[in-house]
Amino acid sequence: MEVKTKNFKNVLLHWYKDNKREYSWRNNSDPWSIYLLEVISQQTQLDRADKYFKEFIKEFPTPNDMATTSFKKVLKMWSGLGYNSRAKRMFESSKIIAKKSFDDLYPDFQQLPGVGPYTENAILSFAYNEQVITEDINVKRIISRYFGIENPKKYIDRFSSLLLKNTNSRNLNQAFMDFGSSICKPRSPLCSDCPLENTCEKYFNYETKPIEKFSGSNRELRGNLIKLLLKKGNLKVKTIQQELDTDQDRLNEILKKMQKDGLVKLNTNNLVEINLG
Contact set with ligand SF4 (CB under 6 A):
142, 145-146, 183-184, 189-191, 194, 196-197, 200, 202
Contact 56, 36 (CB under 8 A): yes
Alpha carbon distance 121, 126 (integer Å): 8
Contact 176, 12 (CB under 8 A): yes
Smallest separation, CB 196 to ligand SF4 (Å): 4
Smallest separation, CB 147 to ligand SF4 (Å): 9
Smallest separation, CB 179 to ligand SF4 (Å): 8
Nearer to ligand SF4, 63 or 189 (CB): 189
Beta bridge partners of 266: 272
Burial of 209 (0-12, 13-18, 19+ CB in 10 A): exposed
HSE-up of residue 151 (Cα within 13 Å, Cβ side): 5
Smallest separation, CB 15 to ligand SF4 (Å): 10
Alpha carbon distance 65, 261 (integer Å): 23
Nearer to ligand SF4, 114 or 186 (CB): 186
Residue 235 DSSP symbol:
B
Nearer to ligand SF4, 172 or 263 (CB): 172
Query: Which residues have CB under 8 Å from 132's CB, separation 6+?
Result: 121, 124, 125, 160, 164, 169
Alpha carbon distance 239, 218 (integer Å): 18
Smallest separation, CB 114 to ligand SF4 (Å): 30
Nearer to ligand SF4, 74 or 184 (CB): 184
Nearer to ligand SF4, 27 or 192 (CB): 192
Smallest separation, CB 207 to ligand SF4 (Å): 15
Alpha carbon distance 215, 259 (integer Å): 23
Nearer to ligand SF4, 10 or 24 (CB): 10
Nearer to ligand SF4, 42 or 181 (CB): 181
Smallest separation, CB 181 to ligand SF4 (Å): 12
Alpha carbon distance 17, 171 (integer Å): 9
Alpha carbon distance 31, 25 (integer Å): 11
